[in-house]
Amino acid sequence: MEIIRSDVAIIGAGGAGLRAAIALAETDPLLKISLISKVYPMRSHTCAAEGGAAGVIKPDDSLEHHFNDTVGGGDWLCDQDAVDYLVREAPKELLQLEHWGCPWSREPDGSVAVRPFGGMQKQRTWFAADKSGFHILHTLFQTSLKFPSIERYDEYYATDLIVDDGRCQGFTAIEMRSGQMRRFEARAVIIAGGGAGRMFPFTTNGAIKTGDGMALAYRAGVALKDMEFVQYHPTGLPNTGTLLTEACRGEGGILLNRNSRRFLQDYGMGPETPVGKPQLKTMELGPRDRVSQAFWHEQKKGNMLPTKYGDCMLLDLRHLGEKKIDERLPLVRDMSISYLGVDPVKDPVPVRPVVHYMMGGIDTDIDAATSLPGLYAAGECACVSINGANRLGSNSLTELLVFGRRAALSAIEFINSGKPSVNEVALSAQAAAAQGRIRGLFEKADGGESLAGLRREMMRTMEENAGIYREEEGLKAACAILSQLRRRYLDVGLTDRTNVYNTDLLQALELGSMLDCAEAVTVSALARTESRGAHQRLDFVERDDGKFLRHSLAYFRSHEPPRVDYRDVVITKSQPGVRDYSGDHK
Ligand SMILES: Cc1cc2nc3c(=O)[nH]c(=O)nc-3n(C[C@H](O)[C@H](O)[C@H](O)COP(=O)(O)OP(=O)(O)OC[C@H]3O[C@@H](n4cnc5c(N)ncnc54)[C@H](O)[C@@H]3O)c2cc1C
């Protein structure tokens, strides 16, 4: 098997992976860096981000405000030392992007424009129209091309970490073009593999968001933290799940039920504000967990609009006018027309909540380090944790910049701390074992299980039992079904046995990742007998700080459901309080 050696190898070339690669190359030009991605970097999900990235820039704002919004928005499950670091580094990172060429939208006086975003008390979301992620990823990608020390391996699929002598020393990956397995040997590895929303059927997430990065670390013994916290975004197109960004509401859009009532005022997010003039942090700019939960209640009351794609609320942008919509929300208009045939300039757009983001992920400390020496993680696949029980919109793009860089600096410190000897025989043996597992998939006689069938069952189970509201009975059933699906997965055989771009093989491996992540979600959700942020239990409706002001940590076990442990949340200055979105906080 071909061996590719580097100092640091990164799995994932989205925002977090590219930011890490640039920081490595800038800090030490002599480092050899491998950047691996299962898709061409510009196809990573960061490209799909619309609304923008949060960072304090305006004179009426402060780091304190950003900190408080984030910690309160996260229902006090955020580690406050990590949030402090995030808000401090955020403006530097966003300015850095500006210097690298990111075309941020401007105010008429030429200064950087910011827009309001859900749960944020001040306007601090930098944006590039409603294509912020596209421009951020482009900026990072083109900057990365300046550094010859970054060697790219596009369309390589990482399958297993290699761990020897108590530290991570690389991984195996399939070169998709040839079907050949490669062994990447590195002194430090950074995982930046993105989210896992595809374990649900109705999601804003691109098809590649299958939790591979999380599963790689999990199977190597690193805990998955706070996996029960899955974010629903309130405004997805009802047929495709395509996101209509929160910036729609940031720019003044309103949400109506079938009776044309701005129903959020009935859920502690009032009072009603004049149309076109949103009050920050209230009504349509309430946090995502609360807005999605309000939808659920309205649906139970029969107040939502039945459509052939399910019950919907209406996102009304008409009062913004064509000029503003075209300037600030061109993609939203385009997508509403293309996918649903509704022009938001003329009609309200039917929308419904859709799975959007994983607050949980690979357990890392504030330095982006995992419990496995030599292994770091950043971006959506990691849980550092700055999002707590509910991420505020526009904190994620900032997070991947801040902690992508941090992971790189930590990896450099690690490799500079010594050069232990490498046992090539042990590493090769592990790579051979990984290869054997893949070969097994090719050689297995059809075990009677279909990939699509298992995937459909997993998605249905997640949607029915681990959605906006949960309860014991459903979660128990979900845990039992998922543990069964994991067993049945062992009988999956491939129908395509060729080597070149074998998508059947990739989908089989991706399904394995999703099943592991999904089980971590449901087992952690069953164990958390309280309601906090995005984890709402119908049978335990109160937040229970006495018992659960703690992160859950799910540990992988091959033949059993994960073991769940807990760790106290880091609290530095903000004691848990009441999340109040009922007044004008301007
Ligand atoms: C539609 C949409 C809109 C959003 N809008 C916003 C917004 O406005 N503001 C905001 O803050 N957040 C937003 N988010 C969230 C945010 O965009 C994501 O959380 C973030 O971009 C994730 O970045 P990442 O670098 O962690 O992962 P990604 O950008 O998802 O990149 C993951 C990388 O990992 C690679 N990879 C994965 N598995 C493997 C494997 N097995 N082998 C090799 N490579 C692998 C992929 O190829 C890819 O390069 C949005 C999300 C969505 C879905």
In ligand 1, the atom with minimum distance to the C-alpha of 54 is 11
CATH topology of domain 235-353: Flavocytochrome C3; Chain A, domain 1 (3.90.700)
Using DSSP's 3-state secondary structure scheme, residue 162 falls into strand
Name the token pair of 154: 């596009």
Residue nearest to atom 14 of ligand 1 (CA): 49
85-106 per-position pLDDT tens digit: 999 999 999 999 999 999 999 9
286 in contact with ligand 1, CB cutoff 6 A? no
344 in contact with ligand 1, CB cutoff 6 A? no
pLDDT of residue 276: 67
Residue 585 has pLDDT above 50, yes or no: no
Name the token pair of 517: 């992540």
Residue 118 has pLDDT above 50, yes or no: yes
pLDDT of residue 278: 58
In ligand 1, the atom with minimum distance to the C-alpha of 52 is 8
396 in contact with ligand 1, CB cutoff 6 A? yes
Name the token pair of 367: 């330095």
The answer to which of 139-148, 245-254, 406-415, 468-477 has the lowest mean pLDDT is 245-254
Q: State how far the Cα of 305 lies from the Cα of 290, in Å rounded to an integer.
A: 19
Instruction: For residue 9, report the distance from its CA to the centre of ligand 1, in Å.
Output: 18
Q: Read off φ and ψ for residue 198, nearest 5 degrees.
A: -70, -5
Instruction: Tell me the CA distances in angstroms from 476 to 290, 460, 465, 466, 575, one per residue in order.
Output: 25, 15, 9, 10, 33
Instruction: For residue 133, report the distance from its CA to the centre of ligand 1, in Å.
Output: 9
- What percentage of the chain has pLDDT greater than the value 70? 98
Using DSSP's 3-state secondary structure scheme, residue 289 falls into helix
Residue nearest to atom 10 of ligand 1 (CA): 394
Name the token pair of 310: 């399910």
Res. 277 pLDDT band, cuts 50 70 90? low
Q: State how far the Cα of 108 lies from the Cα of 124, in Å rounded to an integer.
A: 17
Instruction: For residue 14, report the distance from its CA to the centre of ligand 1, in Å.
Output: 6
The strand ranges marked E within 321-398 are 349-358, 361-363, 375-377, 382-383
Residue nearest to atom 52 of ligand 1 (CA): 49
Closest by CA to 93, choosing from 55, 132, 130, is: 55
Q: State how far the Cα of 272 lies from the Cα of 261, in Å rounded to an integer.
A: 10
407 in contact with ligand 1, CB cutoff 6 A? no
Q: What is the DSSP letter of 168?
A: E
Contacts 24+ apart (CB under 8 A), 494-503: 494/441, 494/442, 494/444, 495/446, 497/442, 498/179, 499/178, 499/179, 499/180, 500/177, 500/178, 500/179, 501/176, 501/177, 502/176, 502/179
Of 396, 509, 510, 513, best ligand 1 pocket probe by most atoms within 8 Å of the beta carbon? 396
172 in contact with ligand 1, CB cutoff 6 A? no
* Burial bucket for residue 58 (CB in 10 Å: 0-12, 13-18, 19+): middle
Instruction: For residue 203, report the distance from its CA to the centre of ligand 1, in Å.
Output: 13
Q: State how far the Cα of 322 lies from the Cα of 155, in Å rounded to an integer.
A: 41
Give the active site residues. 233, 249
Closest by CA to 227, choosing from 563, 520, 531, is: 520
In ligand 1, the atom with minimum distance to the C-alpha of 242 is 1
Of 11, 44, 288, 334, best ligand 1 pocket probe by most atoms within 8 Å of the beta carbon? 44
Q: State how far the Cα of 121 lies from the Cα of 80, in Å rounded to an integer.
A: 18
Of 35, 189, 397, 403, best ligand 1 pocket probe by most atoms within 8 Å of the beta carbon? 397
Instruction: For residue 111, report the distance from its CA to the centre of ligand 1, in Å.
Output: 28
45 in contact with ligand 1, CB cutoff 6 A? yes
DSSP of 232-288, one letter per residue? EEEEE-TTT--B--THHHHTT-EEE-TTS--GGGGGTT-S---TT-PPTTSGGGS-H
Q: Read off φ and ψ for residue 112, nearest 5 degrees.
A: -65, 135
Judge whether 207 and 332 are in contact, CB under 8 Å. no
The amino acid that residue 57 corresponds to is I
Residue nearest to atom 18 of ligand 1 (CA): 46
Closest by CA to 364, choosing from 387, 344, 397, is: 387
51 in contact with ligand 1, CB cutoff 6 A? yes
The answer to which of 33-47, 263-277, 510-524 has the lowest mean pLDDT is 263-277
CB atoms within 10 A of CB 272: 15
In ligand 1, the atom with minimum distance to the C-alpha of 394 is 11
Residue 8 has pLDDT above 90, yes or no: yes
- Give the total residue count for the chain: 586
* Burial bucket for residue 21 (CB in 10 Å: 0-12, 13-18, 19+): buried
* Angle at CA of residue 201, ends 198 and 205, nearest 5°: 40
Instruction: For residue 419, report the distance from its CA to the centre of ligand 1, in Å.
Output: 33
Distance of CA 554 to the CA centre of its chain: 18
Pairing verdict, β 563-568 and 550-555? antiparallel
140 in contact with ligand 1, CB cutoff 6 A? no
Name the token pair of 136: 């951020």
Instruction: Tell me the CA distances in angstroms from 381 to 192, 248, 463, 549, one per residue in order.
Output: 6, 27, 21, 22
Of 136, 380, 503, 513, best ligand 1 pocket probe by most atoms within 8 Å of the beta carbon? 380
Residue 586 has pLDDT above 60, yes or no: no
Judge whether 543 and 532 are in contact, CB under 8 Å. yes
* Sign, CA torsion 23/24/25/29: positive
Q: Where are the domains of the chain?
A: 235-353
Name the token pair of 182: 């490669």
Pairing verdict, β 53-54 and 167-175? unpaired
Residue 584 has pLDDT above 60, yes or no: no
Residue nearest to atom 2 of ligand 1 (CA): 49
146-191 per-position pLDDT tens digit: 999 999 999 999 999 999 999 999 999 999 999 999 999 999 999 9
The strand ranges marked E within 132-264 are 150-154, 156-164, 167-175, 180-191, 224-225, 230-236, 254-256
In ligand 1, the atom with minimum distance to the C-alpha of 158 is 42
* Higher-pLDDT residue of 187, 447: 187
Alpha-carbon dihedral angle through residues 142, 144, 146, 147, given to the nearest 10 degrees: -170
Name the token pair of 164: 């020897």
Residue 227 has pLDDT above 50, yes or no: yes
Instruction: For residue 13, report the distance from its CA to the centre of ligand 1, in Å.
Output: 9
What contacts 311, CB < 8 A, 6 or more positions away?
Answer: 299, 304, 305, 352
15 in contact with ligand 1, CB cutoff 6 A? yes
198 in contact with ligand 1, CB cutoff 6 A? no
12 in contact with ligand 1, CB cutoff 6 A? yes
Q: What is the mean pLDDT of the chain?
A: 95
Instruction: For residue 455, report the distance from its CA to the centre of ligand 1, in Å.
Output: 21
Q: 547 - beta bridge partners? A: none
The answer to which of 44-48, 233-237, 448-452, 456-460 has the lowest mean pLDDT is 448-452
25 in contact with ligand 1, CB cutoff 6 A? no
Instruction: For residue 53, report the distance from its CA to the centre of ligand 1, in Å.
Output: 14
Residue 419 has pLDDT above 90, yes or no: no
Q: State how far the Cα of 204 lies from the Cα of 51, in Å rounded to an integer.
A: 14
Helices (H), 347-450: 395-416, 424-443
Res. 16 pLDDT band, cuts 50 70 90? very high
13 in contact with ligand 1, CB cutoff 6 A? yes
What contacts 578, CB < 8 A, 6 or more positions away?
Answer: none
In ligand 1, the atom with minimum distance to the C-alpha of 399 is 11
In ligand 1, the atom with minimum distance to the C-alpha of 197 is 53
pLDDT of residue 350: 97
357-415 per-position pLDDT tens digit: 999 999 999 999 999 999 999 999 999 999 999 999 999 999 999 999 999 999 999 99
What contacts 366, CB < 8 A, 6 or more positions away?
Answer: 79, 81, 82, 85, 384, 406
Closest by CA to 145, choosing from 7, 9, 25, is: 25
pTM of the predicted structure, to 2 decimals: 0.97
